[in-house]
């Protein structure tokens, strides 16, 4: 028992230590001499003569190498000291903890929005299922479309309509509750779509369990049956719901930039760009600790909702078995393929100043961008980059997530929950420090954290499968752990997690878009959909059609994958 408890703790601590060393190495990644990097960030007008560099090393007490720097900083952390900023020479703790408070407030508000959106989408299907009717696929399609909406575009539209045109709410800053509404909607609505997709598949799988038929035959009231189904369905998704809050902290960086909100994501991003190492270390550590706490909370809630069934080996094990592609998905897939095929022969690179920001027409179905380039041609060529990159990322994440989730000896929080707390933007900055900004580096950054939700999902389902009667029977006949995992646990996990992975293809595309929006992904002149969104932000008020092509592509991709229901 002690080894079982210590193993995930040791894995989490080891991950934290490795991350501390990586963060401490950031100045060396940018420059062979970290003093020169810090000097350029603090005093860009001064030269880098040896005397100045020596004085700066003495002033900041720069470590001789990343390992020594990480050890010294971790020693201060144990004493409650988060360090002193290299740029402002002020204590780091007030800025980081203040940013955390703002980001947590925004994340909690966005989570409330997500929960309300998910409940509104799920309630009709749940009531239909309780009555024994087909819940339909409309809610899944709507949820997929919401999940595919880029937060930066949704936020820009909200600013344009609510703040600029109607003047109902402020467009930037964080001085009161009124500043919370628009960014919470921009973050929460897409998250609600993703949450509804997770829970919808879980509800569907639960409706097929034997106890539901038994309750119906015994005449249990529909309200009680609905509550029972909801509890069982939510139990599967609780670990991911708990991680949704800390995940929103990472995805909120672009939204914080858009609304000028000084949250912890913006603090970490600015600190990385300024090479303010103590601030980066403090921000990452706070996010990691928060991720561990919420990951552990999710596991505890999962066990509490399932009750004695989990420990008593009384679960039957479920898996969503609906593998039908809906007619809507097939039609949209065909239209998307035809649109891309027709657009590929068009020239995406040449521009014509005479048609700068031209609106959609017969000759320019999506209009033209600020350089007079054909947005339809760029949409078609960008589909190969965006969709291809997102599919490749998700394929890698699926393999890693299944291997780690099924192989986990304990459902407790561990290294996966540590990595989930890191914003992809931070990892994008880290990768860019080594290889420079680019689509490949952005894809690596997304993949480094993209496997975590799949691993958490697989870990949860594997824990339930191991608590089922057929696994217990296999163990009683001395079946090996490998045989149990391969013959019983993996088949119960691979289907739902694969469908979950398919549902995350648009999410991966959105993550790439966010990195491109911040200048860490594809080149600004690339037809990649994220780069197109970033280039169109400055013209959204004058030429809103410039975002039509990439948004339409992301939404169409989500609708195509709407039939891939995750459990």
Alpha helices (H) along 131-150: 138-147
Average pLDDT over residues 457-483: 68
Q: What is the pLDDT of residues 198-229, one digit of tens each?
A: 787 778 777 777 778 888 888 888 888 888 88
> CB pairs under 8 A, 24+ apart, for 389-393?
389/439, 389/443, 389/508, 389/509, 389/512, 389/528, 390/505, 390/506, 390/508, 390/509, 390/512, 390/557, 391/505, 392/443, 393/443, 393/446, 393/447, 393/450, 393/508, 393/512
Higher pLDDT, 471 or 402: 402
Q: What is the pLDDT of residues 245-267, one digit of tens each?
A: 666 766 677 788 778 888 887 78
Q: Indicate if the pLDDT at residue 114 is higher than 70.
A: yes
Q: Indicate if the pLDDT at residue 194 is higher than 70.
A: yes
In 3-state terms, what secondary structure has residue 163? helix
CA distance 444 to 449: 9
CA distance 267 to 281: 11
Most confident of 38-47, 63-72, 78-87: 78-87
Structural domains of the chain, with CATH: 1-81 (no CATH), 82-563 (1.10.3720.10)
pTM value is 0.73
Least confident of 27-41, 442-456, 549-563: 27-41
Q: What is the pLDDT of residues 335-355, one digit of tens each?
A: 889 999 999 999 998 888 888
**Residue-level pLDDT at 537:** 73
**Residue-level pLDDT at 360:** 92
CB atoms within 10 A of CB 448: 19
Share the mean pLDDT of the chain: 76
Q: What is the pLDDT of residues 272-291, one digit of tens each?
A: 767 677 887 788 778 777 76
**Residue-level pLDDT at 567:** 38
Least confident of 304-308, 530-534, 552-556: 304-308
Least confident of 244-253, 388-397, 553-562: 244-253
């Amino acid at each position: 028992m002690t080894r079982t408890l210590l193993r995930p703790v040791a894995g989490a601590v080891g991950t934290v230590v490795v991350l501390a060393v990586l963060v401490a190495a950031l100045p060396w990644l940018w420059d062979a001499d970290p003093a020169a990097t810090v000097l350029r960030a603090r005093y860009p007008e001064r030269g880098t003569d040896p005397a100045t560099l020596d004085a700066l090393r003495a002033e900041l007490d720069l470590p001789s190498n990343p390992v020594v720097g990480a050890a010294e900083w971790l020693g201060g952390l144990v004493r409650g000291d988060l360090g002193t900023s290299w740029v402002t020479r002020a204590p780091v703790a007030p800025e980081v903890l203040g940013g955390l408070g703002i980001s947590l407030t925004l994340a909690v508000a966005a989570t409330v929005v997500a929960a309300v959106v998910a409940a509104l989408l799920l309630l009709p299907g749940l009531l239909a299922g309780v009555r024994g009717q087909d819940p339909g696929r409309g809610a899944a399609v709507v949820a997929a479309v919401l999940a595919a909406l880029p937060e930066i575009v949704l936020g820009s539209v909200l600013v344009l309509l609510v703040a600029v045109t109607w003047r109902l709410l402020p467009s930037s800053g964080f001085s009161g509750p009124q500043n919370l509404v628009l960014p919470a909607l921009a973050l929460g609505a897409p998250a609600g779509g993703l949450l509804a997709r997770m829970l919808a598949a879980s509800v569907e799988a639960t409706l097929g369990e034997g106890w539901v038929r038994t309750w119906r035959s015994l005449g249990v009231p529909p309200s009680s049956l609905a509550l029972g189904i909801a509890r069982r369905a939510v139990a599967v998704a609780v670990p991911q719901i708990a991680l949704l809050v800390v995940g929103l902290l990472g995805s909120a960086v672009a939204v914080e930039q858009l609304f000028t909100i000084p949250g912890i994501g913006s603090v970490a991003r600015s600190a990385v760009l300024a090479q303010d190492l103590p601030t980066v270390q403090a921000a990452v550590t706070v996010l990691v600790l928060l991720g561990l706490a919420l990951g552990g909370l999710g596991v505890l809630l999962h066990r509490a909702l399932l009750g004695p069934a989990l420990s008593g080996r009384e679960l039957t094990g479920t898996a969503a078995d609906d593998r039908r592609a809906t007619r809507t998905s097939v039609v949209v897939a065909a239209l998307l393929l035809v649109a891309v095929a027709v657009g590929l022969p068009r020239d995406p690179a040449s521009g014509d100043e005479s048609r700068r920001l031209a609106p959609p027409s017969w000759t320019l179905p999506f209009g033209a961008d600020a350089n007079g380039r054909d947005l339809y041609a760029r949409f078609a060529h960008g589909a190969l980059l965006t969709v291809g990159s997102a599919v490749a990322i998700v394929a890698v994440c699926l393999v890693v997530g299944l291997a780690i989730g099924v192989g986990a000896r304990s459902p407790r929080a561990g290294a996966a929950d540590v990595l989930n707390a890191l914003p992809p933007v931070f990892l994008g900055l880290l990768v860019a420090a080594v290889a420079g900004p680019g689509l490949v580096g952005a894809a690596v950054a997304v993949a480094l954290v993209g496997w975590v939700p799949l691993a958490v999902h697989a870990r949860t389902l594997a824990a339930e499968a191991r608590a089922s009667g057929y696994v217990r029977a296999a163990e009683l006949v001395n079946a090996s752990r490998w045989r149990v995992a391969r013959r019983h646990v993996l088949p119960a996990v691979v289907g739902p997690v694969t469908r979950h992975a398919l549902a995350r293809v648009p999410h991966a595309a959105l993550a790439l878009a966010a990195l491109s929006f911040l200048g860490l992904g594809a080149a600004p002149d690339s037809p990649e959909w994220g780069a197109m969104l970033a280039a169109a932000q400055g013209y959204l008020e004058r030429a809103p059609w410039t975002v039509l092509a990439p948004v339409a592509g992301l939404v169409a991709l989500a609708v195509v994958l709407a039939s891939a229901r995750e459990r």
